[in-house]
């Protein structure tokens, strides 16, 4: 569905600001608490937070993160789920979110309604309160940026730092072909998996795969080391090549480092018991940079998704 | 300064994503803590929050909130200060912020550096940690959205709700002519004033004036009431008309309701002792809608700033 309309009476501009804000609250429904705990005051009021908190922000922008072929409900859901994936990567669970919307005045009311209904459905499903936001106008733009607040599910927050030379590299699910398959909007953020992994002491570092494994894995790699991956071990989506799996991006899977001395058989068994339907693959290990085996993938040849190029 | 450059080597695109992110961290300097407490992991990690928290989001978008005549340092400062003004309106003080940036690839590196240095200087001044962000690309766009987290300075969070018929209406500073005078970026958010007012039990409700008093005051008005204001009582910036003061917007002052039975002389004295240099004006009171005096301003005739029209 195309976000713009040529008919003025179908546009958000025809509604005017006050009615638009009322409509947004209506579309969000129960996931949007009443002010001062939600939309409608200068700030939203949130309860005290006992443990450490997590904060992340990610946008969806037309036509970069969605195009006319993506249903607006899926766009709204994607906006939230991209952020949930970041939270999952640290073992967190979500609490509240705010949305900053930037719209051309010709955006259709129908498109926007579906966008918010999709966001609301996804927020309900994952237990996120949409507590505030802003609507601004800009010519030719359809963009929304969501800031997500969360907290650790267990005692541990898992960061990208901590992997060591010798550690095994694991990835959840399958990679590549995200755009073609629709996975880029039709995915489930790995919240339960991330929390479970953060509770396992043998998992040393974790992140989500969003810009392509070849690019993202760099951030998990210890200083002086290289990831040694074999092409045959990379789990690929149907019809995806190794290059697709390494560089396409928008996989929203988790990649993590398992301590070298860990009992990998027991770990794999525990995973299967907990997540019997989600594939887990050991794709290689971190080795000293000067000891990269001959057959290992040269990740520099697969650039991954680079912004601003 | 114009945000775009025609010379590729002066553009953010010439830097590429990785170097751009490193440059942003450098420009932010000490206001940007190291990951996992700041930029560089999937989420930022924040300490536990004992009291209730406040959350708000506001953008700056070219050419709506700034144009080529506004120095980029002032744009960065304005982005933070707009949000600080929302926090001030509830009596809060800031803790941390994240910034979502949307840029055309032709934005000049120099412009962006000044923008971030202005943001950093302002963050340092008001004690805000910039803990995370996102950079995305979109044709023709120069926009940034900041989400600000804060907490109450005292025990009380002051909302927009609570004014009663008979309450007096006060406003800080002077209104109108914000764009012409440069006040729209060269202002000080009323954080100390907001906190002080939230600590005064005779103040019943408060908000900031950002879309023009005529429009904003509606949200403070009790059901069944109207604000009865006299034109001569409205504090105006030099060269601003009453219409300017009511409708221009971007004043970033505080408007609040003082309980009808309060000792107004003692209140004004306490204000002057605490904030000797900031004007405080009583501009009228809330009356029953059917008892609006003949000489009162008809606020509906001054629309204020309406978005999406």
Q: What is d(CA A271, CA A261) in angstroms, rounded to the nearest whole number? A: 17
Q: Is residue B308 a part of any domain in this protein? A: no
Strands (E), A44-191: 44-46, 53-61, 92-103, 129-137, 142-152, 168-172
Backbone CA torsion sign across B208, B209, B210, B216: positive
For residue A105, count CB atoms less than 10 angstroms from its CB and return exposed for 0-12, middle for 13-18, buried for 19 or more: middle
A208 has a pLDDT exceeding 60: yes
The per-residue pLDDT of chain A, averaged, comes to 95
Residues of A in contact with B96 (CB under 8 A): 55
Does the CB of A249 have a partner CB in chain B at under 8 Å?
Answer: no
Q: Give the pLDDT confidence of B133-162 residue by residue, as tens digits.
A: 999 999 999 999 999 999 988 889 999 999
A112 has a pLDDT exceeding 90: yes
Last residue of a domain, one of A104, A124, A152: A152
Which value, in Å, is the radius of gyration of the alpha carbons in chain A? Answer: 21
Give every CB contact of residue B32 below 8 A, 6+ residues apart in sequence: B25, B38, B39, B120, B129, B130, B131
Q: Which of A192, A205, A285, A94 has its CA nearest to residue B36?
A: A205
Nearest CA in chain B to A208: B42
Q: How far does B275 lie from chain A, in Å, by closest CA?
A: 23
Residues B30 and B140 placed together within one structural domain of the fold: yes
Q: What is the ipTM of this complex?
A: 0.94
Residues B86 and B134 placed together within one structural domain of the fold: yes
Residues B126 and B209 placed together within one structural domain of the fold: no
Q: How far does A45 lie from chain B, in Å, by closest CA?
A: 5
The domain that holds B18 is classified in CATH as: 3.30.1330.10
SS3 content of chain A, % helix, strand, coil (to 5): 35, 30, 35
A306 has a pLDDT exceeding 70: no
Pairing status of strand B92-103 against strand B129-137: parallel
Q: How far does B99 lie from chain A, in Å, by closest CA?
A: 8
Residues of A in contact with B306 (CB under 8 A): 16-18
Q: What is d(CA A80, CA A99) in angstroms, rounded to the nearest whole number? A: 9
Does the CB of B105 have a partner CB in chain A at under 8 Å?
Answer: yes
Residues B83 and B199 placed together within one structural domain of the fold: no
Residues A29 and A127 placed together within one structural domain of the fold: yes
The per-residue pLDDT of chain B, averaged, comes to 95
CB B118 within 8 Å of CB B76:
yes
Nearest CA in chain A to B131: A55
A304 has a pLDDT exceeding 80: no
Residue A83: the pLDDT is 98
Q: Is residue B159 a part of any domain in this protein? A: no
Chain center to CA of A193: 13
Q: Do A46 and B53 touch (CB under 8 A)?
A: yes
> Domain total for chain B?
2
Residues B103 and B185 placed together within one structural domain of the fold: no
- Burial pattern A191-209, b for ≥16 Cβ within 10 A else e, equals bebbbbbbebebbbbbbbb
Higher pLDDT pick, B156 / A303? B156
Q: Is residue A31 a part of any domain in this protein? A: yes
Q: Is residue A296 a part of any domain in this protein? A: yes
Residues of B in contact with A16 (CB under 8 A): 306, 308-309
Residues B142 and B176 placed together within one structural domain of the fold: no
- Which pairs count as long-range contacts for A236-242, CB under 8 Å and 24+ apart, including other chains? A236/A174, A236/A175, A236/A176, A236/A177, A237/A174, A237/A175, A237/A176, A237/A177, A237/A178, A237/A181, A237/A183, A238/A177, A238/A181, A239/A177, A239/A180, A240/A174, A240/A175, A240/A176, A240/A177, A241/A176, A242/A297
Mean pLDDT across A286-306: 86
Q: Is residue B309 a part of any domain in this protein? A: no
B308 has a pLDDT exceeding 80: no
Residue A243: the pLDDT is 95
Residues B214 and B274 placed together within one structural domain of the fold: yes
- Burial pattern B137-169, b for ≥16 Cβ within 10 A else e, equals bbeebbbbbbbbbbbbbeebbbbbbbbebebbb
Residues A288 and A172 placed together within one structural domain of the fold: yes
The domain that holds A228 is classified in CATH as: 3.90.650.10
Residue B116: the pLDDT is 98
Nearest CA in chain A to B42: A86
B306 has a pLDDT exceeding 70: no
Residues A134 and A217 placed together within one structural domain of the fold: no
Residues of B in contact with A32 (CB under 8 A): none
Does the CB of A64 have a partner CB in chain B at under 8 Å?
Answer: yes
Q: Is residue B3 a part of any domain in this protein? A: no
CA dihedral A157, B127, B211, B198 (to 10 degrees): 100
Mean pLDDT across B261-283: 98
A307 has a pLDDT exceeding 80: no
Tokens 């072929």, located at residue:
A69
Q: Which of A49, A99, A137 sits opposite B53 (nearest CB)?
A: A49
Give every CB contact of residue B77 below 8 A, 6+ residues apart in sequence: B118, B119, B121, B122, B185
Residue A302: the pLDDT is 86
Q: How far does A11 lie from chain B, in Å, by closest CA?
A: 10
Pairing status of strand A142-152 against strand A53-61: antiparallel
Q: Give the pLDDT confidence of A266-295 residue by residue, as tens digits.
A: 999 999 999 999 999 999 999 999 999 988
Mean pLDDT across B286-296: 93
Q: Which of B13, B36, B52 sits opposite A45 (nearest CB)?
A: B52
Q: What is d(CA A65, CA A185) in angstroms, rounded to the nearest whole number? A: 9
Q: Which of A61, A89, A134 sits opposite B138 (nearest CB)?
A: A61
Q: Is residue A295 a part of any domain in this protein? A: yes
Q: What is d(CA A43, CA A98) in angstroms, rounded to the nearest whole number? A: 10
Nearest CA in chain B to A8: B309
Q: What is d(CA B2, CA A105) in angstroms, rounded to the nearest whole number? A: 24
Q: What is d(CA B156, CA A53) in angstroms, rounded to the nearest whole number? A: 23
Q: Give the pLDDT confidence of B2-46 residue by residue, as tens digits.
A: 999 999 999 999 998 889 999 999 999 999 998 889 899 999 999
Mean pLDDT across B53-59: 97
Structural domain that includes position A20: 8-152
Nearest CA in chain B to A85: B42
Strands (E), chain B: 34-41, 44-46, 53-61, 92-103, 129-137, 142-152, 168-172, 203-209, 225-229, 253-258, 280-288
Residues B242 and B110 placed together within one structural domain of the fold: no
Residues B137 and B273 placed together within one structural domain of the fold: no
Q: Give the pLDDT confidence of A1-30 residue by residue, as tens digits.
A: 999 999 999 999 999 888 999 999 999 999
Q: How far does B95 lie from chain A, in Å, by closest CA?
A: 12
Which DSSP helix (H) or strand (E) runs through A208?
Answer: strand A203-209
B223 has a pLDDT exceeding 70: yes
Widest CA span of chain A, in angstroms? 66
Nearest CA in chain A to B63: A138
Q: Is residue A308 a part of any domain in this protein? A: no
Planar angle of CA A265, A269, A270, nearest 5 degrees: 120
What's the DSSP call for residue A63? T
B305 has a pLDDT exceeding 70: no
- Pick the residue of B20, B57, B64 with the most A CBs within 10 A to test the interface with A by mutation: B57
Residue B304: the pLDDT is 60
Last residue of a domain, one of A121, A152, A183: A152
Q: What is d(CA B279, CA B243) in angstroms, rounded to the nearest whole number? A: 20
pLDDT band at A99 (very low <50, low <70, confident <90, very high): very high
Residue A300: the pLDDT is 85
| A121 HSE (CA, 13 A, CB side) | 13
Residue B17: the pLDDT is 87
Mean pLDDT across A111-115: 98
Residues of A in contact with B15 (CB under 8 A): 308
């Amino acid at each position: 569905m195309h976000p713009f309309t040529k008919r003025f009476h179908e546009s958000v501009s025809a509604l005017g600001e006050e009615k638009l804000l009322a409509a947004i609250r209506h579309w969000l429904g129960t996931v949007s608490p009443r002010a001062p705990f939600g939309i409608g005051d200068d700030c939203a009021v949130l309860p005290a937070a006992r443990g450490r908190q997590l904060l992340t922000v990610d946008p969806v922008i037309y036509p970069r993160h969605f195009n006319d072929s993506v249903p607006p409900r899926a766009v709204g859901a994607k906006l939230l789920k991209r952020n949930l994936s970041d939270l999952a990567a640290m073992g967190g669970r979500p609490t509240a979110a705010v949305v900053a919307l930037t719209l051309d005045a010709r955006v259709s009311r129908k498109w926007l309604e579906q966008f918010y209904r999709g966001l609301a459905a996804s927020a309900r499903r994952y237990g996120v309160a949409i507590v505030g936001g802003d609507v601004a106008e800009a010519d030719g733009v359809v963009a929304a940026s969501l800031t997500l607040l969360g907290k650790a599910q267990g005692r541990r927050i898992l960061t990208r730092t901590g992997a060591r030379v010798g550690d095994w590299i694991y990835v959840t699910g399958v990679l590549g072909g995200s755009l073609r398959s629709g996975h880029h909007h039709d995915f489930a953020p790995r919240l339960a998996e991330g929390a479970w992994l953060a509770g396992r002491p043998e998992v040393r570092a974790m992140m989500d795969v969003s810009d392509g494994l070849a690019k993202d894995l760099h951030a998990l790699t210890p200083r002086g080391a290289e990831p040694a991956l074999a092409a045959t071990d990379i789990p690929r989506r149907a019809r995806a090549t190794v290059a697709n799996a390494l560089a396409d991006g928008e996989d929203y899977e988790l990649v993590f480092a398992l301590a070298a001395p860990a009992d990998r058989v027991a770990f794999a068994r525990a995973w299967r018991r907990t997540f019997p339907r989600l594939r887990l693959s050991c794709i290689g290990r971190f080795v000293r940079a000067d000891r990269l085996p001959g057959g290992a993938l040269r990740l520099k040849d697969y650039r991954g998704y680079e912004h601003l190029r």
